[in-house]
Amino acid sequence: MATGIVPDVRRRVSSDLKEAGNSLYLVGPTDPGLGGSLYVRVFGGHATRTSPYQGSLTREIGERLLSLGARGQLRSCHDISEGGLAVALPEMAFGGALGFDVDLALEQGIEAWQMLIAEGGSRFVVEVRPEDQEAFERGLTGMPWLRLGSVTQGRGVFRRGERVFASVDLKGLYDRWRGGLGSGEKRARRRSRPRGRA
């Protein structure tokens, strides 16, 4: 999935969000297992169960998305890996200087916070124009998918039904992401360092 031949570069699908009002879909199964996840590495815990890798499903989803992309029915696409949706969606927003509004209460039996940080493989976030939604959904017949929400202007909003549980200042987050979490402290130390020979 990392490299391959694109027969028509004009049909390539990048990861940056393209236009407010487009729909955002989650393609692939969500598993709440957090073993080996970024969340557990950062915050600790005893989550030992990892999400099972489903090679045949990953290939099938990949081939479906490649076909839909070749027909011009995808505006953007990003795999979900380290950090889960909590990282994938802001990264897409950074690239397009746009925002998003998504509902994480849509997957039955999985808590919204698990939807947000789960890292199980074989999953993608896809942006689709309203006029392409019907054809896109037909193209995924038999595959697990759900409509997460929409591309917006401005902030990144994570909700559970009608209740917003996180509203993210994407510009501020981008500045930290771009420079690294310690970049502000490093700049401050450089400014305060005395000049002259050591």
Q: Residues of the chain with pLDDT > 90: what percent?
A: 47
Band (pLDDT 50/70/90 cuts) for residue 141 is: very high
Contacting residues for 69 by C-beta, under 8 A, at least 6 apart: 11, 12, 13, 77
Give how far Cα 90 sits from Cα of 48, 151, 152, 185, Å.
27, 11, 12, 23
Please write the tens of the pLDDT for every residue from 50-106: 666 777 888 999 999 999 999 999 999 999 888 889 999 999 999 999 999 999 987
Q: How confident is the model at residue 20 (pLDDT cuts 50, 70, 90)?
A: very high
Nearest in space to 82 (alpha carbons), one of 115, 142, 39: 39
Residue 115 is predicted with a pLDDT of 84
Write down the pLDDT at residue 195. 44
Extents of the domains making up the chain: 14-182
193 band by pLDDT with thresholds 50, 70 and 90: very low
What is the C-alpha to C-alpha distance for residues 93 and 15, in angstroms, rounded to an integer?
Answer: 9
Residue 46: per-residue pLDDT: 61
Higher pLDDT, 81 or 20: 20
Say if CB 106 and CB 76 are below 8 A apart: no
What is the C-alpha to C-alpha distance for residues 166 and 29, in angstroms, rounded to an integer?
23
pLDDT for 197 equals 42
Most confident of 3-17, 50-64, 138-152, 181-195: 138-152
* pLDDT tens by residue, 23-41: 999 999 887 677 677 777 7
Q: What is the CATH number of domain 14-182?
A: 3.90.650.10
